[in-house]
Amino acid sequence: MNDNKGIIPMPRHFLSILDLDKDTAHALVKRAKEMKECDFHSDLLAGKTVALIFEKASTRTRVSFEVGINHLGGNSLLMTPAESQLGRSEPLSDTSRVLSRYCAGMVVRTFGQEIVDELSHYASVPVINALTDMYHPCQVMSDMLTMYERTPDLANLKVAWVGDGNNMAHSFINAAILFGYELVLACPEGYDPDPNLMAHAKAEGARVTLVRTPEEACEGAHYVNTDVWASMGQEEEQKQREAAFAGFMIDDDMLAVADSEVKVMHCLPAHRGEEISEEVFESERSIVFDQAENRLHMQKAIMEWIFSE
């Protein structure tokens, strides 16, 4: 007798990088590189529709997911608060259970991490975190691919983060657990990453350090990362943040202490002349458009992993 008859298996979600183990994380990077090299297409999602639930506007995330879903044979459906009940009174639990009956999965770009957590709790289909205020796992997995293409031995790298201790910084901290690189974050006082995340990473053996000066973070760094000082939803803090982040713009002087072959990364959009100088952004050291392209390939690898379950 089969006691499991009628039991629906739990879907595979991707809400943070720590939903992966080390072997899976490395395998996804290698798989994404393979997909890029052969312009991978398949019929994995043939006849299926994936809902893109976007409470925040997007260029790279939306387009790369829409194109990626198409490359895997599927269709995408964009949902914004203006076009659905997302911005109104319907409970997330209801939205999740209804969409699970229409769609093969949900890709969610929103504010609080608790939103993707609740959607995934009630979903009977996979949920992918396309960005929250806490994490940006698809972007940072794409960044792992971008580094891996140039320096496959990620564990021997020093990576610098210069700027706000935001969702990007959080995902780089989590990724340091899985990929083993040394991560030094330079954040002005009052803009530190979540201390619990830092403590967890260190407890897991990750080499993560928080410093106050960008030069200390950049010294000998192979990759230097930054992001805008005021993220979406923080526009009213722009002037305050400009004052707090004075001296944190990545420029030629800052990079003088980095490795001679240093590469500069930015998840875009960039505010040239604020967190990164025009000269650095347009220089050969900048690999920001490779990062942007790699969103497509990594998201295809993540979706293949999720929907092949």
Contact 106, 14 (CB under 8 A): no
61 assigned to a ligand binding site: yes
Active-site residue, 200 included: no
Sequence-ordered alpha helix ranges (H) in 103-160:
113-122, 137-150
How far from 181 is each of 155, 163, 218, CA to CA, in Å? Answer: 4, 19, 14
138 assigned to a ligand binding site: yes
Structure token pair of residue 53? 């639930």
85 assigned to a ligand binding site: yes
Active-site residue, 139 included: yes
187 assigned to a ligand binding site: no
299 assigned to a ligand binding site: no
Structure token pair of residue 65? 């997911």
Candidates 71, 218, 227, 291; catalytic one? 227
137 assigned to a ligand binding site: yes
- Give DSSP secondary structure letters for 152-168: S-GGG-EEEEES--SHH
64 assigned to a ligand binding site: no
- How many whole angstroms separate alpha carbon 219 and alpha carbon 221? 5
Candidates 13, 136, 222, 241; catalytic one? 136
Q: E strands, the chain, where? A: 49-54, 75-79, 105-109, 127-131, 158-162, 182-186, 208-211, 223-226, 263-266
Candidates 139, 143, 170, 222; catalytic one? 139
Candidates 109, 170, 285, 297; catalytic one? 109
Would you say how long the chain is, in residues? 309
260 assigned to a ligand binding site: no
Active-site residue, 238 included: no
167 assigned to a ligand binding site: yes
Candidates 164, 295, 297, 299; catalytic one? 295
Active-site residue, 295 included: yes
Candidates 187, 222, 267, 285; catalytic one? 267
267 assigned to a ligand binding site: yes
- Binding-site annotation: residue ranges for L-ornithine: 167, 227, 231-232
> Looking at the annotation, which residues are catalytic?
109, 136, 139, 227, 267, 295
- Binding-site annotation: residue ranges for carbamoyl phosphate: 58-61, 85, 109, 136-139, 267-268, 295
- Binding-site annotation: residue ranges: 58-61, 85, 109, 136-139, 167, 227, 231-232, 267-268, 295
